[in-house]
Amino acid sequence: MGAVTSSDYWDADTAARYDESSAFMFAPDVLDPAVDLLADLAGDGAALELAIGTGRVAIPLAERGVPVSGIELSQPMADRLRAKRDDVPVTVGDMATTVVPGRFALVYLVWNSLGNLRTQDEQVACFANAARHLRPGGRFVVELGIPGIRRFPPGQAAVPFHVGRRHVGIDTYDMATQQGTSHHYRHHPDGTVTHGTSNFRFVWPAELDLMARLAGMTLERRVADWTGTPFDGDSESHVSTWRT
């Protein structure tokens, strides 16, 4: 698997199911505003996606004419992307440390994937790595959830974040260490139920701004989502742009 990292490894089974189990994130009303904004920010330059996965965002961005490259920890996820398109080069490695050729107008890291780096040091290194790949004036865009601590009344250990017929998701948070785990219970068409977990480090926007500053970048814009909804105290996510 290459790089030593705190991240969970996305195995071949997970990669094989990814596009189907993430179908709601491929829906045009979710994806199009993200691709619109990223294409706009890339302008006539190239883009680098950290944790590119199977190319959910990178492929439509490439179809807009933006040259896109990627870094991805999981070989099976990268293989899925390569099977779909061969003109989106992917380097398999840790997004905190892997260096790829080129200088980019835009580096981006979406759908909460920064949280896959489960130590502060690695998240700081990831910001430095993003900055290293940017040309002067280039931008780093991160889409990340706001830690859901308001959902946890005192004494409560777990809260549901999704309750549906085919999927129940429950989060547990350790407030002292900023470690979270999402537990997914999936009800399959053959009647079986499977349980899987994903681990993450949750982080406030202000901590990210310091990471950006350490990497020589400053905050240009923070909104709640890809459509530009203003960010406020009730926002459950943010899309933040820092500039070199």
The number of angstroms, rounded, from the C-alpha of 59 to the middle of its chain's C-alpha atoms is 15
**Contact flag: residue 116 with ligand SAM (CB under 6 A):** yes
Does 171 bind ligand SAM (CB under 6 A)? Our answer is no
Q: How far is the CB of 151 from ligand SAM (least distance, A)?
A: 21
Q: Is 47 in the site for ligand SAM (CB under 6 A)?
A: no
Work out which of 73, 130, 208, 211 binds ligand SAM, going by CB under 6 A: 73
Q: Tell me the HSE value of 31 on the side-chain side, using a 13 A CA sphere.
A: 14
Q: How far is the CB of 171 from ligand SAM (least distance, A)?
A: 15
Helix and strand totals (H; E) in the chain:
7, 11
Q: What's the token pair of residue 161?
A: 């974040």
Query: According to the binding rule CB under 6 A, does residue 241 interact with ligand SAM?
Result: no
* Residue in 71, 106, 134, 215 binding ligand SAM, rule: CB under 6 A: 71
Which are the contacts of 235, defined by CB distance < 8 A and separation ≥ 6?
Answer: 146, 224, 229
Is there binding between residue 225 and ligand SAM (CB under 6 A)? no
Backbone dihedral region for residue 72 (phi beyond 0: left; psi -120 to 50: alpha; all else: beta): beta
Instruction: Tell the smallest beta-carbon distance from residue 200 to ligand SAM (Å).
Output: 10
**Residue 222, both tokens:** 């923070």
What is the C-alpha separation between 96 and 189, in angstroms, rounded? 38
Binding site for ligand SAM (CB under 6 A): 5, 7, 10, 51-53, 56-57, 71-74, 77, 94-95, 110-111, 113, 116-117
